[in-house]
Amino acid sequence: MWDLPKTVHLMEVGPRDGLQIEPTILTTDQKLELLDAIAEAGVREIEAGSFVNPKAVPQMADTEAVFRRLRRHPGVTYRALWLNPRGLDRAIAVGTVDLDGRLQLTASEAFVKRNTNRSIDETFADVPDWIARYRAAGVAPDCLGMMAAFGCNFEGDVPVDRVVSLVARAEAALLAAGSALKQVALADTMGWATPDRIRRMIGTMRDRWPDLSIKLHLHDTRGTAMANAMAALAMGVREFDGSIGGLGGCPFAGHKGAAGNICTEDLAYMCEEMGIATGIDLPALVRAAQMAESMLGHPVPGKVMKGGLLPRRLAA
């Protein structure tokens, strides 16, 4: 199958997923400068921080300040991450977060236990509460994030059928509460996906939910992220997360086993060169990646920012 979409939508997650593991903690001013540069490059959705425990993730401790001082660019949606009701309450309280009604699940029992000391079943027990909270905040609960959707370092392969049954269970809970599931974001949290797995997963999901939007959150832990994105693009997938410079676990900074996100500008470059419109000003996004690299003070894995855009694109 080779059914490339005409356009793609890329969400920039570098300011959250990218910065959260960096030993250098950026100042709020630096983060705001970076957010400006990303928005000026034409990115239309940015994850700007997370409302998690500041002791566990000190890099995100100023997320309230970031959102309070946010210089909003027209047409840009500013997202944040939360993992428990307290985090959502903080996001609501700050007032400038573009809330989405996301249920967060994990496809690996070992990983969810390790991360939250709860089982998958216990996660499901909270779903009605999440639905109620989102509604109280004026947000439709209609999307689902699925971590470790392709495999888990602590458990092994995650079968496609398990993901499908978890999605079906979440959909049933939403339907029972009078909501509909519109999007599933499949996260390859630990870099287990291959193009073949992507193909099987998306094919199976499409067979069951032809109208469901599928988004991919890919990590380049084992070098397959761009090939995985390609396999998804060839099936018409139009939504991806990415991180400028490939931030998100820099193997060159000695974060053992950490996994960089797929590099936003590399993915955008590949799309644009294949005639898939991203809405992104590539030279401007490369500059934003270079700014991040300079702020962090170590080389980042992005390739286009080092190898250079094609001369004809620079001249255009």
118 binds a second copy (CB under 8 A): no
Q: 168 or 314: whose CB is closer to a second copy?
A: 314
The least CB distance from residue 156 to a second copy, in Å, is 6
* H/E run at residue 240: strand 239-242
The least CB distance from residue 306 to a second copy, in Å, is 3
Q: Which of 133, 199, 206, 238 binds a second copy (CB under 8 A)?
A: 199
Q: Which residues pair with 268 in a beta bridge?
A: none
301 binds a second copy (CB under 8 A): yes
Q: Kindly tell me the burial class for residue 244, based on how many C-beta atoms sit within 10 Å of its own C-beta (0-12, 13-18, 19 or more).
A: buried
Q: Which of 222, 277, 283, 297 binds a second copy (CB under 8 A)?
A: 222
| Cβ-Cβ contacts under 8 Å for 85 (sequence gap 6 or more) | 129, 130, 133
Q: Which of 167, 245, 266, 292 binds a second copy (CB under 8 A)?
A: 266
196 binds a second copy (CB under 8 A): yes
| Cβ-Cβ contacts under 8 Å for 264 (sequence gap 6 or more) | 10, 12, 14, 43, 242, 243, 244, 285, 289
The least CB distance from residue 40 to a second copy, in Å, is 22
CA dist., res. 227 & res. 220, Å (int):
10
Check: CB of residue 142 under 8 Å from CB of residue 179. yes
Measured N-to-C along each axis, helices 195-208 and 225-233 cross at an angle, to the nearest 10 degrees, of 30
23 binds a second copy (CB under 8 A): no
One symbol per residue from 153 to 182: x for binding a second copy (CB under 8 A), - otherwise; what is it?
x--xx-------------------------
Nearest to 265 by CA among 297, 237, 287: 287
Q: 74 or 311: whose CB is closer to a second copy?
A: 311
The least CB distance from residue 56 to a second copy, in Å, is 23
User: Tokens for 193?
Assistant: 């996906």
The least CB distance from residue 292 to a second copy, in Å, is 15
299 binds a second copy (CB under 8 A): yes
Strands 156-157 and 151-152 come out as: antiparallel
Does the annotation mark 143 as catalytic?
no
277 binds a second copy (CB under 8 A): no
257 binds a second copy (CB under 8 A): yes
Intra-chain end-to-end CA distance of the chain, in Å:
32
304 binds a second copy (CB under 8 A): yes
65 binds a second copy (CB under 8 A): no
Check: CB of residue 34 under 8 Å from CB of residue 78. no
- Sign of the Cα torsion 30, 33, 38, 41 reads negative
Contact residues: a second copy, CB under 8 A: 1-2, 4, 151, 153, 156-157, 191-192, 194-196, 199, 220-224, 226-227, 229-231, 234, 251-252, 257, 259, 263, 266-267, 269-270, 273-275, 299, 301-304, 306-312
Residues annotated as catalytic (active site), given as ranges: 250
